[in-house]
Structure 1
Amino acid sequence: MPRLGTNRYGKAEVRLLRVTRGGADGDALRDWNVSSSLSGELEAVHLSGDNGNVLPTDSQKNTAYAFAQRLGGVEPEAFALALAEHFVSSQPAITRARLAVEEYGWSRGAAGHAFVRDGGEVRTTTVVHDASEGTHVVSGIRDLVLLNTTNSEFWGFAKDEYTTLAETKDRILATQVTAQWRFRGTDVDWAAARTGAREALLTAFADTYSYSLQQTLFAMGARILDAVDAICEVRLVLPNKHHFLVDLTPFDLPNDDEVYLAADRPYGLIEGTVLADDADEAPLAWT
């Protein structure tokens, strides 16, 4: 006899722009993509179509807009925490809420009311609030593109009958970072933590003389843990954005490590987790 397994439902990608008017430097923006997902006593709706325990996803959308007005231009972690706790406390059938917020950056233009959209980097936040298992916050960034023109080698690797890759003592190292960091609790200066983690990541990438992208990954995660005490775990996904030296000899031209083919695929994909010595296991944070 079939039985219902793990399930959840919610409203995905609610686009929301919150303008805070009249600050010392002019207006301020929070540009968010908000997704909510609820779990709990939802067997009836799946098995018989009884909607009695289902808060409509349209209501979840409206709640996001209302809380944006009530809370003001807060950090995305504070916003997600407030929504997650609200859904669990206000709906008797809901025992777990997951809120994910993507924040798109804007820089000020020539006037206090003028803004320029930043590049591809996106700030991310996920809050999981469970009635019995507590609250977890995971923040991070994605689509942050980094490149070192030198200080990277790759040699001494395993070889088999299909290996054609040449060893190198100098190469371009480039990646498009997805980084997530788990906080120890919820009493955190979110803005300062984000700034510290991002700066640590950038510094580690620039400062590490790399013999492999895996080595760079660990250095980035370790530097974040050292820089921000509130963070206990870092997970990184680093695609290796390959750059191949172009052969210009057919055109009687030299190429002294100057002209490269920037390949978009296929690419190596390096993933890893760096944990503080005292970090506990918290799988709920990553669900």
Structure 2
Amino acid sequence: MPSPAISFEVFPPRSVGAAFTLWDTAQTLAPLAPRFFSVTYGAGGSTRDLTQDAAHVLHRTSGLPVAAHLTCVDASKAETMAIAQGYADAGVTEIVALRGDPADGAKSFTPHPDGFKDSCELIAAIAETGKFNIRVGAYPELHPEATCQRTSIEWLKRKFDVGADEAITQFFFEAETFLRFRDACAAAGIDKPITPGILPIVNWKSARGFAQRCGAIVPAWLDQCFDAAIRDDRHDLLATALCAELCSDLVDEGVEALHFYTLNRAELTRDVCRALGITPQTTLQDVA
């Protein structure tokens, strides 16, 4: 069975040290020939300028496609589309279009008075330019603000209907979670690619907290496994084995692409890719 296509998500650095970590991550993972690197926004759009800088530099230095996150948070429509145009001018023609998390720690999203009210409005505006390949978010488990999964799937279908090309899911811990979601989306008439988002667990405590905030269900067996592994100083070994098994199960079920949330830590993601038979194809030059 052929190896899956892969892509990697990174976040923009906030310090010089973090910048070196990001470039080290890119240098380690770029030889695996990913489809693209995606660069996130911080909560509430807090890293907007940093995201633009990181996307431009990563694209220029790696020569690889970069997908920049773009959200509706705390910006007018004109400001948001100016950012999109700046990406196009810099050769970044892939965007991950998201509504974004509420700004300033608010419990619910409030659109900017002159901004896009939701992700579908943003996607439609980007699509109308004809300049970008557009990816969007999807939730194989219940979105924190959704009342039922059917509503989430209908919303995802709207994103595709207004111009999205591909969806990337929130991470999950069991293959069946994604496979059930994929089947439900197909039954709803969605025929565009839905790529599973994979979180290699660099730190179980942090990953568990992240899961709780974004609505990902943590199976009891996983808690038990990591409790034992941490006691026996086998956390990284367990994390690699579980992530590789999850990816392998997905590939066995016909999944052709995987998107890794690297957290700017390359080693575990690289090891999982190796376990899947993905080996270096290119060499990244001049990254600094």
TM-score by length of 1: 0.31
| Structure with greater proportional helix content | 2
**Higher share of residues assigned strand:** 1
| More RCO (CA 8 Å, sep 6+) | 2
Structure of higher CA gyration radius: 1
What TM-score results when the alignment is normalised by the length of structure 2? 0.31
